[in-house]
A = this chain, B = another copy of it.
Amino acid sequence: MQGRKPGNQARKQVESRRNIRLVLAFDGSPYHGWQIQPNHPTVQGIVAEAIGKITGERVTLHGSGRTDAGTHARGLVANFETASAIPPGQMVRAFNSMLPRDIRVLSARRVALDFHARRSAKSKIYRYQTYCGPVMPPHLAREHYHFPYPVEVPRMQRAARLFVGEHDFTSFTKKTALADDESVPKNMVRRIYGCALQKKGRRLLLTVEGNGFLRYMVRNMMGTLLEVGRGRFELERFRALFERRDRTLAGFTAPAQGLILVKVRY
């Protein structure tokens, strides 16, 4: 013990810290979104509690971003630092034996200490699912929005492509975000790498990849596209929305249950 230099001790502590990256899937129906809130069940809260039981530590769990109450995920990414040496494969089994069935840890792996689920993210892919038939089939009810009116799909598809590129999305964010509130991001410009609307039978699937998303942005994109499909919204008027920067000019906010965070890219 005598010959040991003090530096070794510190290095050992650093080496024993592990950064664990989780991929999570959940049915968001019973949860108040990702982010921890007092008195409401949230996915972050429930997963952080499970980490506590597995590692015996109170850790900070970083998510790739917030999700709205009721929104689902197929591949939300999160990370946390731990001194625990439990192998990641064993951790997956421990999580899934502990978590409710509607939250699953799909994978866990050790990553570099500088990986951060939100800050390191390059892009996110969301899907919004709408069902356009007269009667909602029960097996689609949990993850589709029911819009029982006829829509002109090719016109919606043309409009969807106009989202691609760098735009000011003020017209497509939450109304209150326009108030003079310090917590609201000043920069409303986001880059959309891809945006396409697919028709599969009576289902309309909007898939959007972007470098970031404002609050309610995808839900407002879908709501506006549905109004385009109903013929209530000319394509010219639609094009002007980015420059007008006025939330009251775009379409309605489609409900949270149709929205799925599909994947986060790094």
Contact = CB atoms under 8 A, between A and B. Distances in A.
A112 interface: no
A138 interface: yes
B137 A106 contact: yes
B139 A143 contact: yes
A104 B137 contact: yes
Contacts of A141: 27, 101-102
Contacts of A74: 137, 139
Nearest to A26: B138
B27 A138 contact: yes
A136 B143 CA distance: 17
A105 interface: yes
A139 B25 contact: yes
Interface in A128-144: 134-139, 141-143
A125 to B, nearest CB: 16
Nearest to A136: B104
Interface string A90-107: 001000100001111110
A116 interface: no
Contacts of A143: 139
A167 B169 CA distance: 63
Contacts of A105: 135
A25 B135 CA distance: 10
B101 A135 contact: no
Nearest to A143: B139
Nearest to A102: B138
A105 B27 CA distance: 26
A38 to B, nearest CB: 25
A72 interface: yes
Interface string A135-156: 1111101110000000000000
Given A25-B137, A25-B138, A72-B139, 14 more contacts: A27-B138, A27-B139, A27-B141, A72-B138, A74-B137, A96-B135, A101-B136, A101-B141, A103-B138, A104-B137, A105-B135, A106-B135, A106-B137, A139-B142
